[in-house]
Amino acid sequence: MRDVIRVYKKNKLAVFGFFVITIIVILAIFADVVSPYKYDEIDLISFLQPPSFKHPFGTDSIGRDLMTRIIYGARTSLIVGFSVQIIAVGIGVPLGLLAGFYGGKVDYWISRLVEVMTAFPGLLFAIFLMVWLGNGLINIIIALGVTSWVGICRVTRAKTLEIKGETFVEAVEALGASNSYILFKTILPNIIRPIIVMVGLGIPQAIFGEASLSFLGFGISDPMPSWGKMIQESLGYLQGYWYMGFFPTLSLAITVLCFNFVADGLRDALDPRMYGRRA
Amino acid sequence: MIGYIIRRILGLVIVILLASMITFFLMHAIPGGPFDELKMPLPAEVKAQILKKYGLDKPIWEQYLRYIWRALHGDFGVPFQSPTETVLSLIARVWPVTLQIGAITILLSFTIGILLGILSALRQNTWIDYLVTTLATLGTTVPNFVIAVWLMLIFSVTLRWLPTGGWGEPKHLILPVLAYFLAPTAVIARFVKVNFLEELRKDYVRTARAKGLPERTVIFKHVFRNALVPIITLLGPMIPDLATGSVFIEVTFRVPGLGKFFYTSAFNRDYPMIVAMILLIAVLWGITYLITDIVYALIDPRITFT
């Protein structure tokens, strides 16, 4: 563990990313306290205001304070980012373990399923699920979760296959341990590091996914703020009101970038052999 | 080798059938249809007539089997959003728009990507190397609609050089292509750089230099060829990706291409269009993966199929 922190600290971008994300997380948690207004507070008199002391990032077309909506948007992004990965791990890890451990027919069908999932570009499938489920935070998490477990499943399967043949697994098997004991107590602890790395890479992808779905109008429903939705709303106003598009895109870009820096740092620290490979 | 190809094609057929089944059933499981009360208030008899005309009154499995049967004969039905055309003719009409952007993007991103990659490998740790690294990080992590908005803010709003969207004139191509090409260019540049550096460290390069060949000959005659072969693995998956276009870029810049129609079809529950488009995408991906694997084996004799 000390080693992990030491290697991680060497990567300056990763340390920087961690620092920025800590700030974003704190802002998101204490959004009610730090934001100057309420996120759904409509002020029809001061609509489309440029940035000022009263409204640092300006206001939108119905007078909602953009800085407030960006802070609450961070909350939406983070909730989606983390929850989607919980679902992805919940589906991907068990399937990967089963496929890698049992092989044969189980592996064949799980691998076919993985292939079908990769035949569609993930976001198109997510759009599709959103049409089916309808808009809303929970539905976005489900749609993105159901479409983003494939990478985790693949890595889990490959690592399980790799470790299954090791002597210590055979030893546990020879001692008469049950299959579930071998899977969860012997194999899983030994493949947890690459899974953590995959989750690290998956969080920014989920945030990206939420923003994309909301951007297309298949995402978070009003009045809840989402960066993707704010970017979409800004498109018609860009000519005259640059700040409407500038601040949400900047927030989204910074968040996604910093999460990627952290994921890269985690990868170097936890799983040096994966270096250079991106999911 | 032949056995392998046949097995891969069979696998591809199974995957496409599964994909079509999933989309078809999911699409019909969505509550609400294209002829809902709210969208189209119609007398019951007229509605029954329409449902019958489109075969929507039959059980789902029968609709699916009929669909597959007709699809095998090249008939993908009639798009609900444009009943005077067929799905195929609508796709044939909008696809060239997307292909145009895709083709320019592929051409540009490969020439510029390879160039930047080589430059940053030869001039490691200079400004060009850092520029490529920065672009690569931006291009692969930041969503392309964010880049699209930034481009609009710079070129349309601040400089007022280019329109924010639309279609029909050459100037409408510039911003979508720019927004689109950053990511693949970044991927290619990084890939070329890594390969080039690896190749430069090999023994034959030392031999070539030791026998006194000019650096230019070493780089362009020896390293160049060996370092570029692996790019084919990148080109493969990029083709279907760029050929089917980006929903986000087409929506942002109001480009009437395949991506935009996928979006309107999803919004309007246009079953025939959606199923046909998803099938098209799945087929394109499957075929490219297959061809990439085969071509790669032909180029690199060390790879054998079992």
- Minimal Cα distance from B15: which residue of A? A116
Q: Say if CB B252 and CB B165 are below 8 A apart.
A: yes
Residue B262 touches partner A, C-beta closer than 8 Å: yes
ipTM attached to this prediction: 0.78
In this structure, are residues B191 and B178 in contact, taking their beta carbons and an 8 Å threshold? no
**Which residue is closest to A117 within chain B, CA to CA?**
B19
Residues 15-34 of B with CB under 8 A from A: 15-16, 18-19, 22-23, 26-27, 29-30
Which pLDDT score is estimated for A272? 65
Can you give the length of chain A in residues? 279
Nearest CA distance, B214 vs chain A (angstrom): 32
Residues in chain A closer than 8 A to B164 (CB atoms): 238-239
Query: CA B85, B86, B90 angle in degrees (round to 5)?
Result: 75
Q: Is A142 on the interface with B (CB under 8 A)?
A: no
B27 vs A contacts (CB less than 8 Å): 128, 132
C-alpha B75/C-alpha A252 separation (Å) is 43
Rounded to the nearest 10 degrees, how much is the dihedral formed by the CA atoms of B163, A56, A205, B293? Answer: 30
- For position A223, what pLDDT does the model report? 79
Largest CA distance in chain A: 76
Q: What per-residue confidence (pLDDT) applies to B31?
A: 61
Three-state SS letters, chain B: CHHHHHHHHHHHHHHHHHHHHHHHHHHHHCCCCCCCCCCCCCCHHHHHHHHHHCCCCCCHHHHHHHHHHHHHCCCCCCCCCCCCCCHHHHHHHHHHHHHHHHHHHHHHHHHHHHHHHHHHHHCCCCHHHHHHHHHHHHHHHCCHHHHHHHHHHHHHHHCCCCCCCCCCCCHHHHHHHHHHHHHHHHHHHHHHHHHHHHHHCCHHHHHHHHCCCCHHHHHHHHHHHHHHCCHHHHHHHHHHHHHHCCHHHHHHCCCCCHHHHHHHHHHCCCHHHHHHHHHHHHHHHHHHHHHHHHHHHHHCCCCCCC
At residue A65, φ and ψ (nearest 5 deg) are: -70, 125
Task: Tell which B residues from 214 to 233 touch A, by Cβ distance under 8 Å.
Answer: none
Q: What is A179-220 written as a DSSP string?
A: HHHIIIIIIHHHHHHHHHHHHHHHHHHHHHHHHHHHHHTSSP
B19 and A211 within 8 Å at the Cβ level: the answer is no
Number of alpha carbons in the 13 Å side-chain half-sphere of residue B209: 9
Please tell me the distance from the alpha carbon of residue A166 to that of residue A157, in angstroms, as a whole number. Answer: 15
Nearest 10 degrees: CA dihedral of A251, A255, A261, A266? 170
* Cβ of residue A276 closer than 8 Å to a chain B Cβ: yes
Supply the DSSP symbol for A170.
Answer: H
CB B162 within 8 A of CB B174: yes
Closest-CA residue to A183 (of A205, A156, A206, A208): A156
Token pair of A114, please? Answer: 């993985």
Q: For residue A2, what are its two tokens? A: 């000390």
Residue B149 to residue A238, Cβ atoms within 8 A: yes
Of A140, A151, A147, A141, nearest in space to A200 by CA: A151
Q: Is the pLDDT of residue B306 over 60?
A: no
Place of tokens 């009639």: B78
Q: Which residue of A has its CA nearest to B24?
A: A128
Q: Which of B98, B133, B149 to mutate to test the interface with A (most CBs of A within 10 A)?
A: B149
Instruction: State how far the Cα of B114 lies from the Cα of B135, in Å rounded to an integer.
Output: 14
What's CA B300's distance to the chain center, in Å? 26
One-letter amino acid identity for A150? V
Global pTM reads 0.80
Distance from the Cα of A36 to chain B's closest Cα (Å) equals: 26
Q: Which residue has the tokens 């996914």?
A: A209
What's the average model confidence in pLDDT over B18-24?
79
Report the distance separating Cα A253 and Cα B146, nearest Å. Answer: 7
CB contact under 8 A, B247 and A124: yes
Distance from CA of B146 to the nearest CA of A (A): 5
Q: How many CA atoms lie within 13 A of B110 on its CB side?
A: 15
Residues B233-261: tens digit of each pLDDT: 777 777 777 777 778 888 888 888 888 88
Of A72, A211, A236, nearest to B254 by C-alpha is A236
Q: Chain B residue closest to A216 (CA)?
A: B248
Model pLDDT for residues B117-169, shown as the tens digit of each residue = 888 888 877 888 888 888 888 887 888 888 888 888 888 777 777 777 777 67
Residues in B closer than 8 angstroms to A234, CB to CB, are 149
Listed in order, strand segments (DSSP E) in A100-249 are: none
Contact A253 B142 (CB under 8 A): yes
**What are the pLDDT digits (tens) for B91-110?**
888 888 888 888 888 889 88
Q: Over the stretch B35-51, which tens digit does the pLDDT of each residue have?
A: 665 556 677 777 777 77
Alpha-carbon separation of residue A74 from A78, A130, A194, A226, B16 (angstroms): 6, 21, 27, 8, 38
Give the pLDDT score at B39. Answer: 59
Residues whose CB falls within 8 Å of the CB of residue B13, separated by 6 or more in sequence, listed in order: none
> Taking CA atoms, what residue in B is nearest to A128?
B266
What do you get for the CA distance between the two ends of chain B, in Å?
8
Q: Are B11 and A128 within 8 A, CB to CB?
A: no
Per-residue pLDDT for chain A (279 aa), expressed as one digit of tens each? 777 888 888 888 889 999 999 999 998 888 887 777 777 777 777 777 777 777 777 777 776 778 888 888 899 999 999 999 999 999 999 999 999 888 888 888 888 888 778 766 667 778 878 877 888 889 999 999 988 899 899 899 988 988 888 888 888 888 888 888 888 888 898 888 889 989 998 999 899 889 988 888 887 877 788 888 888 888 877 777 778 788 888 899 999 989 988 988 888 888 766 544 433
SS3 A59: strand
Mean pLDDT within B209-213 = 87
Residues above pLDDT 90, as percent of chain B: 0
Flag if A131 and B286 touch (Cβ within 8 Å): no
Residues 6 or more apart in contact with residue A139 via CB below 8 angstroms: A129, A130, A133
